[in-house]
Amino acid sequence: MKFQNCRLLDYTMLYFLSIIVCIACICSGCTSVFNNGISNTAYFKNKDTLLTIPENISVLRKQILQNAQKFIGTPYCYGGESPFCSDCSGFTKQIFAKSGINIPRTAQDQFASTVQDSGEPIPGDLLFFRYKIDGPIAHVGIFTGKNSMIHASEKKGITISSLEYMIQFLIGFGRVSSLDARDDISSK
């Protein structure tokens, strides 16, 4: 009899603990955890931040942007690399991994592993930022077109932002070479 009561107590505690975790996620804005995949706008904190995916880009680049869009509203956390919280380079690493492309973990290493181009960025390219003239790469985001990017903001979490302010810190964009190489193969 004692053993059954202990088991019942364990299940009751587990039940209440799961309710507390759900409430904590909802209160902290971690609503992307509850995305059912049916509607991309159902869990956005700000429905004005809808991402318009350009038609004139490759299938793989569209997939990158579609995957990134699903994370909008996810909270920022330093060192994070999960659907529950993420930092900038953890976010980009996750998004590319969902499309089968492995990129390094840190913004500095992602910059070093991409091809820098002097032309114009294409939606799906990585944008790199530095806050000190000779400092390290401090931030990375995914170019979405129309002077904007999707990234992990320390204050807003995963969001779409205009480059209007951040352009002063932009050092360039990097093209993940396997992104276009894989698309060339898949389009034949």
**Which CATH number goes with the domain that contains 50?**
3.90.1720.10
Residue 132 sits in the same domain as residue 99: yes
Residue 134 sits in the same domain as residue 113: yes
d(Cα 101, Cα 186) in Å, to the nearest integer?
Answer: 14
Residue 25 sits in the same domain as residue 53: no
pLDDT for residue 19 is more than 60: no
Q: For residue 170, what is the DSSP state?
A: E
What one-character-per-residue DSSP string does 129-158 give? Answer: E-SSTTS---EEEEEEETTEEEEEETTTEE
Residue 99 sits in the same domain as residue 12: no
Residue 146 sits in the same domain as residue 179: yes
d(Cα 151, Cα 156) in Å, to the nearest integer?
Answer: 10
Q: Which helix (H) or strand (E) holds 7?
A: helix 2-27
Residue 45 sits in the same domain as residue 24: no
How many structural domains compose the chain?
A: 2
Residue 133 sits in the same domain as residue 169: yes
The first and second tokens of residue 32, run together, are 């992307």
Residue 5 sits in the same domain as residue 75: no
Residue 157 sits in the same domain as residue 70: yes
Domain range spanning residue 12? 1-34
Closest to 154 (Cα-Cα) out of 89, 102, 82, 83: 89
What one-character-per-residue DSSP string does 32-90 give? Answer: GGG--SS-SSTT-S-GGG-----TTS-HHHHHHHHHHHTTTTPPB-TT-BSSS-B-HHH
Q: How confident is the model at residue 118 (pLDDT cuts 50, 70, 90)?
A: confident
The first and second tokens of residue 141, run together, are 């985001």
Question: pLDDT tens digits for 53-75?
Answer: 999 999 999 999 999 999 999 99
Which residue is listed with tokens 């992307």? 32
Q: How confident is the model at residue 177 (pLDDT cuts 50, 70, 90)?
A: confident
Of the chain, the percentage scoring pLDDT greater than 70 comes to: 70
Q: Which residue has the higher pLDDT, 180 or 171?
A: 171
In the prediction, which pLDDT does 51 show? 86
Mean pLDDT: which of 15-19, 35-39, 154-158 is highest?
Answer: 154-158
Q: Which helix (H) or strand (E) holds 173?
A: strand 170-175
Residue 63 sits in the same domain as residue 129: yes
Residue 43 sits in the same domain as residue 104: yes
Residue 59 sits in the same domain as residue 115: yes
